Structure 1
């Protein structure tokens, strides 16, 4: 797409997790004009005894509840919606046998794994980067002398995260959409402010273009178009309904614009969520490739977080910039799959699929400068960028064909370093390390 055209701003969700990822059915506290605390709720039509008449009653009461409380997001072809209400209203509505009423899951970002926190680590806006092509970008290109990057033209990378500083000199030319899914109004166009920094960092690794002066930082696929979708608050926490809505919106936008789209979600929780999982399936069915962080709960096996653990999402493990057994090493913090599925080269629920650089990653920051962070959140955008670069070179491919190609690239670069890493498909590194060449 033509980046010179008017920019439609949007926002993203993502996580960089140092501890275990959590999913809690907790409620964000909002204070309304009357001082009442409100919680986020999902209301579903649920005909308890079956039959046409009972379903009709359920739908009628669902519509009545929608009229009473208003809808935030609508799901399941109009058979469920999310909204906000007081605890007292929630308790009363749970007694309605024709409706299923539950609190919406809250996805919480654990602390970032920052390589350093000394003064000067986060560079001021006026400074140029200390490195234009970070180690992870050189590594995924398999070129230690790399001075700049290229590729990804015509492909969208939707970053669902804490937002993005779309005015960053190394990102401003890539921005096509900027949207906020966390506001009281639901979707708000033209804003995706990132007061956290995480989303801006993720976007930089995927597609930073060095800026108009070409003195800035480069990501994997700088010719890609950025769809910045803010799905997490400034504290790194967000709701599953907002995330699900953003996933579906990205898929619908891809269809409407007839463009190829890669969704990056550097976020997660320990438990599967039906709203997010169904949204991932919806996007994949629309031809969108979904890439997600594996999580930072390693090295224990069975610790891949959701949505990365889903079959229709690529779970990305984090590699360190050091050799072990002749290859890069899977970081101890990187979540693992299951030893029982080692060697099968089949992606099931809870499997890591691909590895990419994720430790001590230098990238763009929300103050207009740069910062270094570690986590599978940093590994995921490397794969999203690679996917965009490869897809641009093969525009007739489907998302499924592209995914197979990425898997084959990973198989060609086996990872033997780190706990659980072994020859072939393993529960630590998955198929291996997918690279440009």
Structure 2
């Protein structure tokens, strides 16, 4: 990817990057001495307005999967799907049945199917990504470009045949292309379908996923005007999981659950690792607007913590709600303090590749003085050129189409996030035995301290700030630190 002159104004659909989860269980309907399991506040508000005959979809959390399943059956709910590894059953039923399941033995939390939104090239000079690729090698002895690592991109979809994702031998960087096929109205059930080489990005939010995939792992291309560009990790493999427009939380959670169950062999047990490497990082550029409290009881948080335990880093866009530090506007699941879960703010290199640029005005800020709400790291997210066909809705918002409209320029923390996702792939190539916690520590402790915005203050893994986290990612320094 390469940065171009045009700066595209942020829009709510094209450049948001948070996936808001609900507020903590302590804010739910639990009263002192009650035997009812806590309910997510968002769901509580819905139950108060739904008509008695209107069904709704919920995630029933249990002490284990068997307990959640028994509770769903006992309450008369219809089971839709199960997230086996975190003990959650997705079910549908009437409001009275949802209330009834809270009293069943073994139920620990009841969560709603909350709506979320998509959150909308960078210069690899600012991140020192080009320098790392040209001067450093991975543990395999090859150039540090993400080779041997798959990145799971959970987004609107991808066209595996796009020239930006084409390998020199004609194959695609996309080694697995899944489409989550969901019940169309409420996404109460979602199942993965192998889409092969089909374009899965032809949806209402189309173009967002195509742009993000290119930022992660776009191959070397030369455009007709002579511009040379590539993604953050041009040797990494891509596993695209299309959730369409990502309108409800269950579709996105189902994608994370698929990664949890398949990250070691995403193309199947019989496919060689050389052709389809294990997934070591997920890239998530979606969520609700306006921030929100961190919810440790949500399925999303349980899934990403389970992924960390199995060696997979989760990267989140921190959101596009701006702010001044007076309140917390950060993406809720991005605020997970678990090492190996990384939130990303947007940095603007002024279209020059400088490392002394600015925090993007749209980038969501945490609340000053509360480091649990701060983003972790900054990466280029403003005025980013990547694969984005002009006829797709998100891509049509770009103001600098190139090569017949196959590439365009968009801004958002959605664009900063895949930079970090690709860089994580480079770090795992540098040290395949690194843990997610070590990867995050390497990124944060070596960050370049650009000075625009809020002052830095002492924190974990070095100094941090409420608007830009630990500073601008430095790929060369991080790679040297993790070896």
Alignment partner, residue 193 of structure 1: 200
Alignment partner, residue 406 of structure 1: 443
Give the one of 316, 329, 335 matched to 1:303.
Answer: 329
Unaligned runs of 5+ in 1: 1-13, 28-35, 48-54, 113-133, 342-347
Is the contact between residue 175 and residue 239 of structure 2 (CA under 8 Å) also seen in structure 1? Answer: yes
Unaligned runs of 5+ in 2: 1-12, 23-41, 47-52, 135-142, 167-171, 184-188, 267-276, 393-404, 458-462, 477-483
Alignment partner, residue 149 of structure 2: 155
Is the contact between residue 18 and residue 318 of structure 2 (CA under 8 Å) also seen in structure 1? Answer: no
Alignment partner, residue 26 of structure 2: none
1:70 aligns with 2:105: no
Separation in structure 1 between the aligned mates of residue 117 and residue 367 of structure 2, nearest angstrom: 24
Alignment partner, residue 258 of structure 2: 249
Give the one of 126, 134, 139 matched to 1:139.
Answer: 126
Alignment partner, residue 426 of structure 2: 389
- Aligned ranges 1:35-434 → 2 under 5 Å: 39-44=56-61, 60-63=70-73, 69-75=78-84, 78=87, 80-85=88-93, 89-95=94-100, 97-98=103-104, 102=110, 104-109=112-117, 112=120, 134-141=121-128, 151-172=145-166, 173-184=172-183, 186-191=190-195, 193-194=200-201, 195=203, 196-210=206-220, 217-231=229-243, 233-234=244-245, 236-239=246-249, 241-256=250-265, 259=278, 261-269=280-288, 270-271=291-292, 272-273=294-295, 274-301=298-325, 302-312=328-338, 313-322=341-350, 327-340=356-369, 349-366=372-389, 369-410=406-447, 413-418=448-453, 420-422=454-456, 424-434=463-473
Secondary structure at the aligned position of 1:106 is classed as coil
Aligned Cα root-mean-square deviation (Å): 3.8
Bigger drift between 168-177 and 380-389 goes to 168-177
CA positional deviation for 1:432: 1.0
Give aligned pairs, total: 368
CA positional deviation for 1:59: 5.8
CA positional deviation for 1:138: 2.9
Cα deviation digits, residues 197-241 of structure 1 (max 9, x gap): 11111111110113699997410101111010123x33x5232x3
> Could you tell me the TM-score, scaled by structure 1's length?
0.73
Separation in structure 2 between the aligned mates of residue 58 and residue 407 of structure 1, nearest angstrom: 38
Alignment partner, residue 7 of structure 2: none
Cα deviation digits, residues 308-343 of structure 1 (max 9, x gap): 1111321111011239x98110012111223325xx
> Could you tell me the TM-score, scaled by structure 2's length?
0.66
CA positional deviation for 1:406: 1.1
Separation in structure 1 between the aligned mates of residue 263 and residue 342 of structure 2, nearest angstrom: 19
Is the contact between residue 265 and residue 293 of structure 1 (CA under 8 Å) also seen in structure 2? Answer: yes
CA positional deviation for 1:41: 2.1
CA positional deviation for 1:189: 2.5
